[in-house]
Amino acid sequence: MSEPVANQDIETLFSEQRRYPPPPEFTKQANAQPEVYGKGLEEFWREEGEQRVTWSRPFDKVYEWEPPYAKWYIGGKLNVCYNCVDRHVEAGNGDKVAFYWEGEPSEERRPLSFAELQSQVVRFANGLKKLGVKKGTPVGIYMGMVPELPVAMLACTRLGAPHTVVFGGFSADSLSGRMTDMGCEVLITQNEGWRRGSRVPLKKTCDEAMAQAPSIKACVVYRRTDGEVNMEAGRDVWWDELLQDTSDDPNSCPCEEMDSEDLLYLLYTSGTTAKPKGIVHTTAGYLVGVATTHHYIFDVKPDSVYWCAADVGWVTGHSYIVYGPLCNGTTGILYEGTPDYPDKDRWWSIIERYKVDILYTAPTAIRSHMKWGPEHARKHDLSSLRVLGSVGEPINPEAWVWYHENIGGGRCPVVDTWWQTETGMILITPLPGVTTLKPGSATQAFPTVDAAVYNEHGEAVPHGGGGYLVIRQPWPAMLRGIHRDHERYVQTYWSKYKDTYLVGDGARVDEDGDFWLLGRIDDVMNVSGHRISTIEVESALVDHPKVAEAAVCGRNDPATGQAIVAYVTLKGGDEGSPEMLSELRTHVGQRIGKFAAPANVVFTPELPKTRSGKIMRRLLRDVAENRALGDTTTLADPTVVDELSRRGREEAAKGDA
Ligand code: PRX
């Protein structure tokens, strides 16, 4: 087992020297200018609060900080739906497209204007009212990527009803646990969804979940496919039937006036074994935080076509598909399916069709595209792209450079954005047009964000050093706690250092003060007394021209404490060979040092990942130690570990021979 970081800082070994200064033509037109870094916390967020959001009552005070709880925009009143929808229609932008929706079956697509969005939201909010939903009623949402998902979220915010969206890949148990924890009274779903050509039985999962979640009194079912589902009389109602005779006149369902600190939503973070935490996000600080970061970090223009290719069920989708972009009146893409359906060029065909200028995705997706090869992107005109983004995991420098060259044509700044469900908004990121980019580094804290890297004793490590990432000042979209669990909130985030938010990630700061994220702190290995982060060895492996993806972990070793086991996927579906193995060991030895060369290499066509695309190193450790596998319920594809265990055993047997 790898130990958590104990008494020493994390050693940092992998050095990436490539630099990409901002192109001058980009700088000239950029939303962010260097001056944004010069403002104080209160000044910056007062100005943003005044200009990004329409208030029905202005706030009296920017923030109050009584650790570990902050309040923002105190005294202000506003409504999120009004800000994301109604005000754009009132301003004469009703015809502007809010979302271009692409169904997975490729013949299905439709644009949704802000006026149409308003009409659908008003009708659905009126429908929810019929079911007794009002200010404060908790509502659960379990859907795929259909326009009705943001419609449902916005209808909740119109009524002042807090929601929790549960990603459509979660099991009935995960769903019922969340429904019960929040006390949801209504659950909104669809009969079935589409994923890689197969039907996802969403309503059926809801039925199983509702059997264990007695708080739910009503279930609204959107009809996405022609699939039959069980409808329980008195509880289940079809979306279209609920909407019969409902008005779409905005005055028939005025936006509820909410306090800045009223609950907007809970989003559960899927812990690996422990009970998920209901992360609390409130209204004004969250909305201002996501709209502001969206504006500066993605350089969004009034005519932009912006695509965040995440799922709305994750925080990335909440903040950067729904609330941030809609608050800014931005045209977005909503795509229902997977990147390889029906073919591996699906994403690039979407970019070409809608002339997308901003693409925001995750390293796992970029590495998949890398594995499939750049020829799929070459079939399409991607010249509309201006800005590329990455989120969710550290991005290996080679994947960054591949993305920059093959997707961005070498001209688009890549913003590697670091944040969490808990932070609500991006906190560490380059600003395009301002920041000199370094592949693999999230570079600088967003203006006013006080990020630092601490050692065990709560001292900032000097430049060049590694340790625990912390945030020392509040920010507007920060979590307001864990739902009904103050103790756990304090214990998880606020007990290691006084009045300082413990992120749970390792990081290093380089000589220029730029941040390099090193993954979760329990992913650190200890080899012969060197504390090495998994990401650095992985990046050294991916740096080899034949490697598409790599994950490493430590296993117990009598000689070195831990030895490194690497799981490697080769490009173009190649199988590994003994020659390749020694080539990779030499390569890591050259990039980092001989002690970091993997003791074992397991070649595998797939790595085990969570449904949000993060590599599950805990399972890799189990495989490496030949242990019974721990909880695999959050795995996207459980068959991957069986195959890995088999290959792992083969590899170990070779070692014994
Ligand atoms: O470990 C960090 C990693 O993802 C974690 C947060 O996960 P989640 O709450 O699911 O939110 C993901 C989307 C915001 C972080 O603690 N992470 C996220 N972005 C990056 C990252 N690691 C390195 N670089 C990033 N850009």
| Domain locations in the chain as residue ranges | 114-256, 528-656
Residue whose CA is at the smallest distance from ligand 1 atom 24: 394
The pLDDT of residue 3 is 35
Phi, psi torsion values for 281, nearest 5 degrees: -120, 135
Q: What is the DSSP string of 171-238?
A: -HHHHHHHHHHHT-SEEEEES-EEETTEEE-HHHHHHHHHHT-TT--EEEEE--SS------TTTEEE
pLDDT for 177-194, tens place per residue?
Answer: 999 999 999 999 999 999
Going from the Cα of 392 to the center of ligand 1, the distance in angstroms, rounded, reads 4
Question: Per-residue pLDDT for 628 more than 90?
Answer: no
The pLDDT of residue 630 is 63
Residue whose CA is at the smallest distance from ligand 1 atom 5: 420
Task: Of 211-220, 281-290, 556-565, 568-577, give the lowest mean pLDDT range.
Answer: 556-565
> How far apart are the C-alpha atoms of 401 and 392, rounded to whole Å?
17
5: confidence class by pLDDT, cuts 50, 70, 90:
very low
**Test site for ligand 1: of 395, 414, 419, 421, most ligand atoms within 8 A of the Cβ:** 419
The pLDDT of residue 10 is 67
Going from the Cα of 219 to the center of ligand 1, the distance in angstroms, rounded, reads 33
Quote the strand ranges of 455-605, DSSP E. 466-471, 501-509, 515-520, 524-527, 530-533, 547-557, 561-570, 600-603
CATH of domain 528-656: 3.30.300.30
Atom of ligand 1 at shortest range from CA of 419: 14
Going from the Cα of 345 to the center of ligand 1, the distance in angstroms, rounded, reads 26
Phi, psi torsion values for 165, nearest 5 degrees: -95, 130
Amino acid at 396: N
| H helices, E strands: number in the chain | 21, 29
632: confidence class by pLDDT, cuts 50, 70, 90:
low
Question: Per-residue pLDDT for 538 more than 80?
Answer: yes
Say if ligand 1 is within 6 A of residue 260 CB: no
Share of the chain above pLDDT 70, in %: 95
Listed in sequence order, the DSSP H helices in 304-362 are 315-317, 324-327, 346-354
Say if ligand 1 is within 6 A of residue 469 CB: no
Question: Per-residue pLDDT for 319 more than 90?
Answer: yes
Query: Could you identify the residue written with the tokens 């290996």?
Result: 396
Average pLDDT over residues 188-215: 96
The pLDDT of residue 1 is 32
- Helix, strand, coil content of the chain in percent (nearest 5): 35, 25, 40
Say if ligand 1 is within 6 A of residue 167 CB: no
Atom of ligand 1 at shortest range from CA of 503: 16
The pLDDT of residue 657 is 36
Going from the Cα of 282 to the center of ligand 1, the distance in angstroms, rounded, reads 21
**Radius of gyration, CA atoms only, the chain:** 24
> How far apart are the C-alpha atoms of 328 and 239, rounded to whole Å?
28
The DSSP secondary-structure symbol of 91 reads I
Task: Of 344-358, 416-430, 512-526, give the lowest mean pLDDT range.
Answer: 512-526
Q: What is the pTM of this model?
A: 0.89
Which of the two residues, 310 and 642, has the higher pLDDT score? 310
Number of Cβ within 10 Å of residue 29's Cβ equals 10
Going from the Cα of 155 to the center of ligand 1, the distance in angstroms, rounded, reads 29
Task: Of 285-289, 414-418, 566-570, give the lowest mean pLDDT range.
Answer: 566-570
Say if ligand 1 is within 6 A of residue 268 CB: no
Average pLDDT over residues 27-50: 97
> How far apart are the C-alpha atoms of 68 and 62, rounded to whole Å?
17
Residue whose CA is at the smallest distance from ligand 1 atom 18: 392
Residue whose CA is at the smallest distance from ligand 1 atom 21: 393
pLDDT for 587-604, tens place per residue?
Answer: 998 888 788 899 999 999
Average pLDDT over residues 48-73: 98
Say if ligand 1 is within 6 A of residue 272 CB: no
The pLDDT of residue 274 is 61
User: Which residues are CB-neighbours of 553 under 8 A, at least 6 positions away?
Assistant: 2, 523, 525, 534, 564, 565, 617, 620, 621, 624
Going from the Cα of 643 to the center of ligand 1, the distance in angstroms, rounded, reads 27
Going from the Cα of 315 to the center of ligand 1, the distance in angstroms, rounded, reads 10
> How far apart are the C-alpha atoms of 559 and 27, rounded to whole Å?
53
291: confidence class by pLDDT, cuts 50, 70, 90:
very high
Residue whose CA is at the smallest distance from ligand 1 atom 4: 392
Residue whose CA is at the smallest distance from ligand 1 atom 26: 418
Atom of ligand 1 at shortest range from CA of 417: 26
Which is it for the CA torsion 356, 357, 359, 360, positive or negative? negative
Say if ligand 1 is within 6 A of residue 414 CB: no
Task: Please state which architecture CATH assigns to domain 114-256.
Answer: 3-Layer(aba) Sandwich (3.40)
Average pLDDT over residues 434-438: 98
The pLDDT of residue 13 is 64
624: confidence class by pLDDT, cuts 50, 70, 90:
confident
pLDDT for 482-522, tens place per residue?
Answer: 999 999 999 999 999 999 999 999 999 999 999 999 888 87
The pLDDT of residue 520 is 82
Average pLDDT over residues 577-586: 93
Going from the Cα of 426 to the center of ligand 1, the distance in angstroms, rounded, reads 10
Atom of ligand 1 at shortest range from CA of 428: 26
Say if ligand 1 is within 6 A of residue 430 CB: no
**Test site for ligand 1: of 165, 319, 420, most ligand atoms within 8 A of the Cβ:** 420
The pLDDT of residue 608 is 86
Q: Which two tokens stand for residue 408?
A: 């961005």
User: Which residues are CB-neighbours of 498 under 8 A, at least 6 positions away?
Assistant: 458
Say if ligand 1 is within 6 A of residue 190 CB: no
Average pLDDT over residues 261-283: 86
Going from the Cα of 423 to the center of ligand 1, the distance in angstroms, rounded, reads 10
Say if ligand 1 is within 6 A of residue 612 CB: yes
Residue whose CA is at the smallest distance from ligand 1 atom 15: 420
The pLDDT of residue 93 is 98
> How far apart are the C-alpha atoms of 97 and 95, rounded to whole Å?
6
Which is it for the CA torsion 405, 409, 410, 412, positive or negative? negative
> How far apart are the C-alpha atoms of 270 and 170, rounded to whole Å?
10
Q: Which residues of 510-544 are buried (b: 16+ CB within 10 A; e: fewer)?
A: beeebbbbbbbbbbbbbbeebbbbbbbbbbbbbbb
Say if ligand 1 is within 6 A of residue 505 CB: yes
- List residues bridging with 258 in a β-sheet: 78
Separation of first and last alpha carbons in the chain: 24
CA proximity to 395, closest of 531, 542, 248, 498: 542
Amino acid at 567: Y
The pLDDT of residue 343 is 95
> How far apart are the C-alpha atoms of 298 and 315, rounded to whole Å?
17
Helix (H) or strand (E) segment spanning residue 644 = helix 639-656
The DSSP secondary-structure symbol of 559 reads T
Going from the Cα of 418 to the center of ligand 1, the distance in angstroms, rounded, reads 6
The pLDDT of residue 652 is 64
The per-residue pLDDT of the chain, averaged, comes to 92
Atom of ligand 1 at shortest range from CA of 614: 4
Share of the chain above pLDDT 90, in %: 78
pLDDT for 385-426, tens place per residue?
Answer: 999 999 998 899 999 999 999 999 999 999 999 999 999 999
Say if ligand 1 is within 6 A of residue 315 CB: yes
The pLDDT of residue 527 is 83
Q: Classify residue 655 as exposed, middle or buried by CB count within 10 Å of its CB (0-12, 13-18, 19+).
A: exposed
**Test site for ligand 1: of 266, 281, 315, 505, most ligand atoms within 8 A of the Cβ:** 505
15: confidence class by pLDDT, cuts 50, 70, 90:
confident
Going from the Cα of 326 to the center of ligand 1, the distance in angstroms, rounded, reads 23
The pLDDT of residue 382 is 98
> How far apart are the C-alpha atoms of 238 and 233, rounded to whole Å?
11
**Test site for ligand 1: of 293, 418, 438, most ligand atoms within 8 A of the Cβ:** 418
User: Which residues are CB-neighbours of 239 under 8 A, at least 6 positions away?
Assistant: 124, 127, 148, 190, 220, 221, 222, 223
Residue whose CA is at the smallest distance from ligand 1 atom 13: 392
Say if ligand 1 is within 6 A of residue 311 CB: no
Residue whose CA is at the smallest distance from ligand 1 atom 8: 420
